[in-house]
């Protein structure tokens, strides 16, 4: 069902040497013809490792801008290159690229415009998840449903896939500077739901490594993830 010539995989990365190579190598080429790594001004050789692992396109930000900016750069590059679909994977080797069919098949079947990965659906998994992360990732979908009415089970999972034609909708303003960090991902999901596009969830694995699992800071970045819900629901941003 999946035509890899129509799919690019976008991987935002910042100082992921030692992990980014594994991510690139794990991408099954039966699912994607191109891996686009966006190096967000790393200082540890992330870009070189990505190229050596076989990434077809490695883009580099001259200054660190944030994961949202990395995703934006990668999606726009995929669209410029003529791909129809893009999947997004974490650069820190938390996701399982072999699960790409789970998020791509609903797109190819014409059942969805965006497929959001969920660690909490049956078939998903969270090996090594810390207790604090468990309850936070359980709480966020409840807040998302209050803000949008959409009954998602996992609103903060970075594993997703979408039709790149969504980027042509002027209501999805991914170019806004306030979306450069963790805001872009919940903003995208919120706006796709609000604009009436078809959204599905698919079970995926999120693996929590013993060291270096995340660069997120609980308070500052927690607010960055939450504020798109507040701003969009109250009409403070668009």
pLDDT digits (tens, 9 = 90+) for 183-213: 999 999 999 999 999 999 999 999 998 755 5
Fill in the DSSP letter of residue 52: H
Q: How far is 160 from 17, CA to CA, in rounded Å?
A: 23
CA atoms within a 13 Å half-sphere pointing along the CA-CB vector of 60: 13
Q: How far is 93 from 145, CA to CA, in rounded Å?
A: 29
pLDDT digits (tens, 9 = 90+) for 207-233: 998 755 566 666 678 899 999 999 999
> Sorting pLDDT into bands at 50, 70 and 90, what band is 38?
very high
Determine the pLDDT at residue 218.
62
Determine the pLDDT at residue 84.
98
Task: Return the SS3 of 192.
Answer: helix
Q: How far is 31 from 200, CA to CA, in rounded Å?
A: 19
**Does residue 209 contact residue 93 with C-beta atoms inside 8 Å?**
yes
**149-153: long-range pairs with CB below 8 Å, 24+:** 149/193, 150/193, 150/199, 152/116, 152/118, 152/189, 152/199, 152/201, 153/118, 153/120, 153/121, 153/201
Q: How far is 181 from 184, CA to CA, in rounded Å?
A: 7
**Does residue 24 contact residue 53 with C-beta atoms inside 8 Å?**
yes
CATH homologous superfamily for 4-233? Spore Coat Polysaccharide Biosynthesis Protein SpsA; Chain A (3.90.550.10)
Mean pLDDT of the chain: 95
**Does residue 154 contact residue 117 with C-beta atoms inside 8 Å?**
yes
Q: Which residues of 159-169 are buried (b: 16+ CB within 10 A; e: fewer)?
A: bbbbbbebbee
Determine the pLDDT at residue 222.
85
Alpha helices in the chain, H assignment, sequence order? 20-26, 46-53, 67-80, 100-108, 131-148, 184-194, 218-233
Residue with tokens 């909708």: 169
Kindly state the average pLDDT of the residues 47-59. Answer: 98
Domain ranges in the chain are: 4-233
């Amino acid at each position: 069902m999946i035509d890899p010539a129509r799919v690019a995989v976008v991987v935002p990365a910042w100082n992921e040497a030692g992990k980014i190579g594994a991510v690139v190598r794990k991408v099954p080429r039966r699912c994607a013809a191109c891996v686009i790594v966006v190096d967000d001004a790393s200082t540890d050789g992330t870009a070189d490792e990505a190229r050596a692992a076989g990434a077809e396109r490695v883009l580099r930000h001259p200054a660190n801008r944030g994961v949202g900016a990395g995703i934006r750069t990668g999606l726009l590059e995929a669209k410029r290159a003529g791909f129809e679909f893009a999947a997004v994977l974490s650069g820190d080797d938390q996701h399982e690229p072999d699960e790409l069919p789970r998020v791509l098949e609903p797109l190819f079947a014409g059942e969805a415009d965006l497929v959001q990965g969920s660690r909490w659906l049956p078939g998903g998994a969270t090996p090594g998840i810390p207790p604090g992360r468990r309850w936070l990732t359980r709480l966020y979908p409840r807040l998302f449903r209050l803000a949008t009415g959409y009954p998602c089970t996992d609103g903060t999972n970075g594993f997703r896939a979408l039709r790149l034609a969504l980027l042509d909708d002027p209501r999805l303003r991914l170019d806004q500077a306030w979306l450069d960090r963790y805001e872009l991902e919940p903003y995208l999901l919120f706006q796709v739901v609000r604009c009436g596009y078809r959204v599905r969830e698919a079970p995926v694995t999120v693996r929590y490594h013993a060291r270096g699992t995340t660069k997120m800071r609980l308070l500052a970045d927690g607010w960055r993830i939450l504020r798109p819900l507040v701003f969009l629901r109250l009409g403070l941003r668009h």
